[in-house]
Copies of this chain bind each other. A is one copy, B any other.
């Protein structure tokens, strides 16, 4: 059935109540007499992108243009104003990319406007999955529940893989929790990537076997866009349970989709974010970007430059980030703040006091420079952290790396052998009703989903269809293609203006958007295998 152009949003009945708006607060540098006008400019620029004089339609003014709810002097600065705008919720289209665009896309280019806060209604938050694991999930994988986690980065780039692996192993043996690639550790070549990642992963796993604890290794996911999935395939096969990725480099929603599809832990790196957060007069507030938006984008752990380090974040900015990562945000799981830099052995106690238990301390150079032995250094830092918390060590939980086949296998549907039985049926597979066109006879018409719908990891589905004498399938077309193998009797494939006879073992291909139909003009059942892409569009009537 077509689900085509006849259905459109405009024709749908409008709901009686107006859904809650998206609220955003912008800081404006403006003279008092100009602040209101600038707020109005944002309201039009970010929605209709037209000057008010050209927006004459009352309904568009009501349903599309943002509403300026208030413009007040900024209590923190005499030169600035805080403007509060309400955007109709539907403008976000339930999409993270569009939300980003809506909140700051074009006004990023207007001077003197900074996005300071955002409040999303629950009905919109339901469109976002947020962190897959969150704080409790990551803790569960490690079996560590009552203290901050200790993490480090593998560097510098240029070290042989074996050296990096040695570092990873030493950190794990010393009791470290998470070891990640430096974000500069990028391999041009897939095979080099595999070698490096595998060496580090196995070094950590060996250490885990020796210590009986669990340390996680997160490789950096970076590759040409077309190769990202293949690298994720490899990481998943290897058993890696998380990755480091740079959302502002890969794209906020792109990184989310890549990592969420694998069920991995997502550690987000702040590369490029300084362009957004760095200027007082423009950009996006530290907490909104590295807290709210990264959490919406699925980050389980958000790395940011700690106060007191080589970067410029203040203690308040860091607090704002962690509040937004850990605080209430609809149904989204809380995420772990991960301050990096500025942490030395000497100030670990302060850090513990400031961040509390639910944080990851990412310590690179200070840990490497603490002693010549990374294992000893790690142990010392970890003990220093433990002094401040009652660690309740638990048995590391069952390995969390997902086995995509497990659920289906458990349910008994994923079978590796489907024995063929008399009468064209298969052991372990049910015959399903199949809506066959043709008024005369449905007798003997059947559809059997052989492979692809039972949890198998294939990019295609294999089905068996049988059409009784006089029957036919519906006349339709779609973007996806069909491959047909004749199995029983003979039938007709009408494909565009051609009629093809399909006999057992004949193979036929139906190209994209070709109108087609299968029919059985004969006296015997006509059976055929049909292979289709697993991900496919809905058929349309021609």
Please tell me which stretch of A75-83, A384-392, A393-401, A450-458 contacts chain B, meaning at least 4 of its Cβ atoms lie within 8 angstroms of it: A450-458
A257 touches B184 (CB 8 A): no
A250 touches B97 (CB 8 A): yes
Counting CB contacts under 8 A, is A434 at the interface?
no
Please judge, given known A-B contacts A161-B10, A249-B100, A507-B426, whether A462 and B187 are in contact too, CB under 8 Å: no
Minimal Cβ-Cβ distance residue in B for A8: B195
Copies of the polypeptide in the assembly: 2
Counting CB contacts under 8 A, is A508 at the interface?
yes
Counting CB contacts under 8 A, is A120 at the interface?
no
Q: How far is the CA of A373 from the CA of B49 in the complex (A)?
A: 20
Q: How far is the CA of A500 from the CA of B230 in the complex (A)?
A: 30
A249 touches which of B233, B251, B498 (Cβ 8 Å): B251
Counting CB contacts under 8 A, is A348 at the interface?
no
Q: How far is the CA of A535 from the CA of B419 in the complex (A)?
A: 28
Counting CB contacts under 8 A, is A440 at the interface?
no
> Which chain B residues border A485 with CB–CB below 8 Å?
462, 485, 529
Minimal Cβ-Cβ distance residue in B for A460: B460
A481 touches B509 (CB 8 A): no
A481 touches B500 (CB 8 A): no
Q: List 24 A-B contacts (CB under 8 A).
A: A49-B184, A50-B365, A53-B369, A54-B368, A60-B156, A94-B224, A95-B224, A97-B246, A97-B249, A106-B274, A108-B273, A109-B313, A225-B256, A226-B257, A233-B479, A233-B537, A237-B479, A249-B252, A275-B284, A417-B506, A450-B507, A456-B509, A485-B529, A487-B505
Minimal Cβ-Cβ distance residue in B for A9: B192
Counting CB contacts under 8 A, is A119 at the interface?
no
Please judge, given known A-B contacts A198-B5, A225-B258, A420-B486, whether A459 and B460 are in contact too, CB under 8 Å: yes
Chain B nearest CB from A189 CB (Å) reads: 7
Please tell me which stretch of A29-37, A321-329, A510-518 contacts chain B, meaning at least 4 of its Cβ atoms lie within 8 angstroms of it: A510-518
B282 touches A282 (CB 8 A): no
Counting CB contacts under 8 A, is A533 at the interface?
yes
B183 touches A101 (CB 8 A): yes
Q: How far is the CA of A385 from the CA of B149 in the complex (A)?
A: 64
A48 touches B416 (CB 8 A): no
A246 touches which of B9, B105, B500 (Cβ 8 Å): B105
> Which chain B residues border A125 with CB–CB below 8 Å?
none
With A51-B369, A405-B511, A457-B511 given, can you name 10 additional A-B contacts, CB distance below 8 Å?
A48-B156, A105-B184, A109-B270, A109-B313, A110-B312, A237-B513, A405-B512, A416-B511, A426-B507, A456-B483
> Which chain B residues border A45 with CB–CB below 8 Å?
310
Within 1-35 of A, Cβ neighbours of B (below 8 Å) are at 3-10
Counting CB contacts under 8 A, is A364 at the interface?
yes
